Amino acid sequence: MNIFETILERKKILLVEDDLLISQAYRFALGEAGFDVLLADDGKEALEKIKAEKPDLVLLDVIMPLVNGFEVLERLKKRGMEGKPPVIMISNLGQAADIARGKKLGAVDFLVKSNISLKSMVETVKNFMES
């Protein structure tokens, strides 16, 4: 596998995160792990990029300007795009009710940012991509 093929094989991840610093850290860690990282900093942009770029996975924050993470999931569900692409929620809302809501709307996982290290986050993404 040459470098070219490797680049073509690289999985595309849409990182939707409005906090610049967190976005930067995640982009860095995911990039290091060999993923193609696209960025969006609100729900509206996320929906547009999901349509245009067809990412392999979406890391979706919840509390964001314009359209929040839950609403993004709702709209995807309405468009019949539930699970295409798969969505992992990344949020600092850590209550059981929030997690349950995200999963009910079709998210495959829910990561609480303050409780998970970059390493664990990357592990989770990798595990998901491999399965």
Partner 1 sequence: MNDKQNTLSFSAERFLDAVSDCAFVLDYKFNCLYINEGALRALDLGKKGMSEVLGKNLLKLKPRFASSLLYKKCLEAKSENMPIVFDEYVSHIERWFKCRIYPSGDMLLILMRDNTDELAIFSQIKESEEYHRTLIENVKDYAIFVLDIKGKIRTWNKGAERLLGYSAEEVLGKTPFIFYSKDGRKVGMDMRQLQQVKLEGKFEQEGWWVRKDGTQFWANEILSYFKDESGGMKGYTKVVRDMTERKNTEEMLKRYTRDLERSTRAIETEVAKDEALLDSIGEGVIATDETGRIVVFNQQAQSLLGWSQEDAIGEFYHNVWKIEGEDGEVISNTKRPVAMSLNNGKKIVNSAYYYSSAYRKPFPVSMTSAPVVLEGETIGAVMVFRDISKEKEVDRAKSEFVSLASHQLRTPLTAIKLFVEMLLLSGASNLTKEQQEMLQSVNESNEKMIKLVENLLDVSRLETGVLTVKLEQVVLKEFIIEVVHELQPVANSHKCNLVLSLPSTAGTKVTTDPVLLRQVLNNLINNAIAYSPDRRCNIYIDVAVNPGFQYQITVQDEGIGIPKEALPNIFQRFYRADNAVKARTEGNGLGLYMSKMMTETLGGKITCVSKLNIGTTFTVTFPLSKPRHPAVKRRVRL
Task: State the number of binding residues for partner 1 (CB under 8 A).
Answer: 23
Count other C-beta atoms under 10 Å from residue 13's C-beta. 24
| Position 31 contacts partner 1 (CB under 8 A) | no
The letter for the amino acid at 54 is K
Please, what is the minimum distance in Å from the beta carbon of residue 123 to partner 1?
Answer: 13
| Position 124 contacts partner 1 (CB under 8 A) | no
Residue pair 101/70 in contact by the 8 Å Cβ criterion: yes
DSSP 11: P
Site string for partner 1, 40-59 (x = CB under 8 A): --------------------
The letter for the amino acid at 1 is M
Of residues 1 and 97, the one with the C-beta less far from partner 1: 97
Of 91, 101, 105, 125, which lies in the binding site for partner 1, with binding defined by CB under 8 A? 91
Of residues 8 and 96, the one with the C-beta less far from partner 1: 96
Q: What angle do CA 87, 88, 94 make, to 5 degrees?
A: 135
Range 101-126 burial, b when 16+ CB lie within 10 A, else e: bbeebbbebbbebeeeeeeebbebbe
* Length of the chain (residues): 131
* 3-11, 51-59, 74-82, 89-97 -> range binding partner 1 (CB under 8 A): 89-97
Site residues, partner 1 (CB under 8 A): 19, 21-22, 25-26, 28-29, 32, 63, 91-98, 113-115, 117-119
